[in-house]
Amino acid sequence: MSDKRQNTQKERRSIYDPQLRLAFAPGVAGEAQDTTDWRVESLFSPHENQSPTNPLAVMQEVLQPENLEAALAKVQANKGAPGVDGMTVKQLPGYLRLHWTRIKQQLQEGIYKPQPVKRVEIPKPDGGVRKLGIPTVLDRFIQQAVQQVLTRRWDDTFSSNSFGFRPGKSAHQAVETAQRHIADGCAWVVDIDLEKFFDRVNHDRLMSRIMQRENDKALIRLIRSFLSSGVMENGLVSPTDEGAPQGGPLSPLLSNLVLDELDKELEKRGHKFVRYADDCNIYVRSERAGQRVMEGVSQFIACKLKLKVNPSKSAVARPKDRKFLSFSFTSGKTVKRRIAPKAVERFKAKVRQLTNRHKGQSLRQIVLALSEYLRGWRGYFGYCQTPSVLKALDEWIRRRLRSVVLCHWPRGRRRFVELTRRGVGKDLAAQTAASCHGPWRLSRSPALSIALPIRFWDWLGVERVLSEG
């Protein structure tokens, strides 16, 4: 085997083998590495005491080997698209192996310069687009390392009513808290939506909030540089004077820091509220109180936070008429969680797409893709307390699949043979095979229920949205 081929195989093992991906022999960036040390030396192995003796030196904590290795593992697990430089997640360990000494020095001196984020637009479920800013994988790695440390330092100071992007908290907990407020007699909700929140975060106010908590100059410069790194769109880089682009690991934490001021104000006023990211619901006992709260809080957000409430998406209403994290609530003495109507509509649209009868896919291909989607959907919306809705959706899904099968069976003798082979009587099979009705109409006929019963779909592996447990 040639030396060139041997070197290529060693390089591949060092990047992709979990045992070796963090291993390298330390040295000056660009120097040839001694491969005999790759199995024992960590990529971030310290060669001097890095334990922070100064409690204000947060960057030293960020650069601890254990923190860096956890950040790298997180970025690799999240995968994600390349940024403006085209570097992929798989290429990151190899790049760090060659350049980490230089990057680390820049971070310690506060002179590291992030690259612009790549602008990506994704459609919103309710229309419009959401603008994401995708940092390079190197910048994502550094942001993740900073985020892990700052989360440990800040999270305990945040409000217990804030649930978004926090360890140990979830959307389901937020929905359950909202449900509890409604059950306690708060029959009206002040639903506040912040207009283009991530695009309008004031950098000076945000940095002021950070400096109230941290005094590490290198850290302060690094966060400021991430905020002002610019955005590349259509090949052109535009400066960013405000906003915290969605898409980077650090942005959710910074958004919680900005809105923690709102949380503390609502607690000071004695309000019952739930906030998940920029989605904030305040629960009150009357419509009049709701209107008063909406006016006061909107004024606070505009004057104090320099943000704007979106009037078209904000309202004072009954909880049953609003959605919160794609859930809504029933009215009456017993308040139950239910899936918001728009979420059901989006679900059906996706299932229609996956069970399109004209895509030329086999039934097994359709079931495989559909079941993957259903598992994820059930993991979130299975938290609802209206099983009748889930049962109806299961029946509707099976009807969609029966329509697909009917399209695979042409009218006439083929359809007759398939039906009788699956236990349908000859008279009923002949009547169904000769019917002039379309697949959707026939999908709920007695013949199809006999030929393609529920147990057939279970055997084929179709997931149910109504969990049997």
* 189-232 pLDDT per residue, tens: 999 999 888 777 888 889 999 999 999 999 999 999 998 887 76
| Cα four-point dihedral sign 287, 293, 296, 302 | negative
CA-to-CA separations, 34 to 23, 25, 191, 300, in angstroms, rounded: 11, 6, 61, 60
Does residue 78 have a pLDDT over 70? Answer: yes
Q: What is the pLDDT of residue 120?
A: 79
Banded model confidence at residue 428, pLDDT cuts 50, 70, 90: very high
> Cβ of 12: how many Cβ atoms within 10 Å?
12
Q: What is the pLDDT of residues 324-341, one digit of tens each?
A: 999 999 988 899 999 999
Q: Which of 301, 345, 305 is closest to 323 using CA atoms?
A: 345
CA distance linking residue 357 with residue 365, whole number of Å: 12
Between 40 and 173, name the one with better pLDDT. Answer: 173
Residue 38 pLDDT: 33
pLDDT band for 26, please (50, 70, 90 cuts). very low
| 263-321 per-position pLDDT tens digit | 999 999 999 999 999 899 999 999 999 999 999 999 999 999 989 999 999 999 999 99
pLDDT for the residue 268: 96
**pLDDT for 44:** 72
Residue 445 has what pLDDT?
94
Q: What angle do the packed helices 137-154 and 65-78 form, to 10 degrees?
A: 120
Question: Is the CA virtual torsion 252, 254, 256, 262 positive or negative?
Answer: negative
pLDDT value, residue 46: 58
Does residue 211 or residue 34 have the better pLDDT?
211
- Please state the φ and ψ torsions of residue 282, each to the nearest 5 degrees: -115, 130
Give the pLDDT band (50/70/90) at residue 240. Answer: low
State phi, psi for 293 to the nearest 5 degrees.
-65, -40
Could you tell me what percent of the chain has a pLDDT over 70?
A: 84
Spatial CB neighbours of 377, under 8 Å, sequence gap ≥ 6: 347, 465
Bridge partners of 317, per DSSP, are 189
pLDDT band at 246 (very low <50, low <70, confident <90, very high): confident
Per-residue CA distances from 201 to 31, 124, 165, 195, 302 (Å): 43, 20, 17, 11, 12
Per-residue model confidence (pLDDT) at position 53? 45
Q: How confident is the model over 437-456, as a mean pLDDT?
A: 94
Of residues 230 and 137, more confidence is placed in 137
What is the pTM for the complete model shown?
0.82
Report residue 410 as tokens. 């042409």
- Among 16-30, 199-213, 395-409, name the one with the lowest average pLDDT: 16-30
Could you give phi then psi for residue 314, rounded to 5 degrees? -110, 150
> What percent of the chain is predicted at pLDDT more than 90?
69
